[in-house]
Amino acid sequence: MLSRIRGALLAPGVAAVMAILIAAIALLISRNNPLTAFSAMWDNISNAESVVLIINRAVPYYVSGVAVAIGFKMNLFNIGANGQYLLAALIAAWAGSQVTLPAPLHVTFILAVAVVVGAAWASIAAILKVTRNVNEVISTIMLNFIATGLVAFLLTEQFRERDTGSLIAQTPTLPPSARLPHLDWLITWTGIDLGNARLLGFLPIAIAIGVAYHLLLNRSRFGYELRLSGLNPEAARAAGVNPKAMVFKTIVLSGAIAGLIGMHSLLADPQFYKYGDQFPRMLGFTGISLALLGRNHPAGVAAAALVWAMIERATQPLSRIGIPQEIGVIMQGAFLLTAIIAYEVVKRRNDANAAAQAAAMSQSVTTAEPPHTAQLPGGGS
């Protein structure tokens, strides 16, 4: 078990070192001192407040990563998580503001609306794929544009808050019954001072999504058939899996989870509690990188989301000391690329070892025991 974890961490470890080196080179080329930059970055993440802020930032990333990962497991590329979550967040924000319900029900209602909208929007791509064989990469990218336009239209024409006379288009702010309480007590209870940071309340739901994803993928029949379809669609078909139904269900499921990406901001972040022009707009694309980096593994994607958030948090103060903040994006990109290469190298090594072991096994048996009855029908085979 320990050696397996060590093996799993080897590739990302190497990739992290490479990413730091590449970032250092980029800093040197742009005539900045890498050491100054790195120490400023470290200072900005090495305190309890920052850790909480990193977790807050990582939570929606994680949901996004899981949404994309579930499609990847079947070789389906849901590039449309972005459109799915924006539309879901807008409609859920509006629907939530139109009802009066007790707290747990209110939150559940909004989550359900988001899931349904995300799934419904994704189902367009799923139907196109299943009936007309339209590549889901193309259709989901196109649907992103349509979703963005649709969100802008709905927000300005239908769902905006009317009675305030405000010029800003935004949905009505959700009442307290629709908000997820923060979790500071989890940390302050240990005596750690959090400063101004709050641990936002969507974290348990994100963890539940991760656990559900794990159970579905690795313990359920559906997950088995999903992985099978991804690894070898022909064999899956021969094993009685209906490929079209599988494609449909997977895209819709990915969309359903994508619908939840915006819920952290909507239900748990005091900055929002509504959908407006400040609402995060690109979370769905980040999920693609995170699914790749985390190898579609429930824990791997979580680690990737934390690293991503950490890099972003770390590079925030750089512009104040005259170093371009974009170094963070360079680090993220370099990390992703080198990690993918490193994964492949490690995988090939492991594969070769497994094959050699099995070969050793069959040989040692061949020489140790009398071989099995070899018969030659009709004097030759």
User: How far is 152 from 87, CA to CA, in rounded Å?
Assistant: 10
Specify the residue for token string 């629709």.
178
Structural contact between residues 254 and 70, judged by C-beta atoms closer than 8 angstroms: yes
The alpha carbon torsion through 216, 218, 222, 226 (nearest 10 deg) reads 110
Select 165 or 378, whichever has its Cβ closest to another protein.
378
| Site string (240-269) toward another protein, x via CB under 8 A | xxx---------------------------
User: How far is 39 from 318, CA to CA, in rounded Å?
Assistant: 10
Select 100 or 373, whichever has its Cβ closest to another protein.
373
Task: Tell me the residue type at 224.
Answer: Y
CB atoms within 10 A of CB 106: 20
Closest to 221 in 3D by CA, of 238, 241, 251: 241
Q: Which residues, 6 or more positions from 11, have their beta carbon under 8 angstroms from its beta carbon?
A: 339, 342, 343, 345, 346
Considering the rule CB under 8 A, would residue 133 count as an interface residue with another protein? no
Considering the rule CB under 8 A, would residue 109 count as an interface residue with another protein? no
Considering the rule CB under 8 A, would residue 345 count as an interface residue with another protein? no
User: How far is 57 from 264, CA to CA, in rounded Å?
Assistant: 9
Considering the rule CB under 8 A, would residue 157 count as an interface residue with another protein? no
Considering the rule CB under 8 A, would residue 131 count as an interface residue with another protein? no
Task: Tell me the residue type at 68.
Answer: V
User: Which window, 55-63, 246-254, 302-310, 369-377, contacts another protein (CB under 8 A)?
Assistant: 369-377
Select 192 or 355, whichever has its Cβ closest to another protein.
355
Print burial letters for 261-289: b (CB count within 10 Å at least 16), e (below 16). bbbbbbbbbeebbbbbeebbeebbebbbb
Give the sign of the dihedral formed by CA 139, CA 296, CA 260, CA 55.
negative
Considering the rule CB under 8 A, would residue 239 count as an interface residue with another protein? yes
Within 217-236, the residues that bind another protein by CB under 8 A are 219-225, 227-228, 231-232, 234-236
Select 224 or 285, whichever has its Cβ closest to another protein.
224
Structural contact between residues 292 and 190, judged by C-beta atoms closer than 8 angstroms: no
Select 46 or 353, whichever has its Cβ closest to another protein.
353
Select 190 or 381, whichever has its Cβ closest to another protein.
381
Select 204 or 219, whichever has its Cβ closest to another protein.
219
Q: Which residues, 6 or more positions from 91, have their beta carbon under 8 angstroms from its beta carbon?
A: 113, 114, 117, 154, 159
Minimum CB–partner distance for residue 228 and another protein (Å): 5
User: Which window, 68-76, 94-102, 115-123, 362-370, contacts another protein (CB under 8 A)?
Assistant: 362-370
User: Which window, 53-61, 71-79, 183-191, 357-365, contacts another protein (CB under 8 A)?
Assistant: 357-365
Considering the rule CB under 8 A, would residue 35 count as an interface residue with another protein? no
Considering the rule CB under 8 A, would residue 158 count as an interface residue with another protein? no
User: Which window, 34-42, 107-115, 174-182, 215-223, contacts another protein (CB under 8 A)?
Assistant: 215-223
Considering the rule CB under 8 A, would residue 378 count as an interface residue with another protein? yes
Minimum CB–partner distance for residue 75 and another protein (Å): 13
User: How far is 94 from 158, CA to CA, in rounded Å?
Assistant: 9
Give the sign of the dihedral formed by CA 167, CA 172, CA 176, CA 182.
negative
Considering the rule CB under 8 A, would residue 5 count as an interface residue with another protein? no
Minimum CB–partner distance for residue 355 and another protein (Å): 5
Structural contact between residues 327 and 37, judged by C-beta atoms closer than 8 angstroms: yes
Select 243 or 317, whichever has its Cβ closest to another protein.
243
Considering the rule CB under 8 A, would residue 214 count as an interface residue with another protein? no
Minimum CB–partner distance for residue 73 and another protein (Å): 12
User: Which window, 19-27, 69-77, 182-190, 214-222, contacts another protein (CB under 8 A)?
Assistant: 214-222
Phi–psi pair at 326, nearest 5 degrees: -60, -15
Minimum CB–partner distance for residue 14 and another protein (Å): 21
Residue ranges binding another protein (CB under 8 A): 219-225, 227-228, 231-232, 234-242, 351-363, 365-367, 370-381
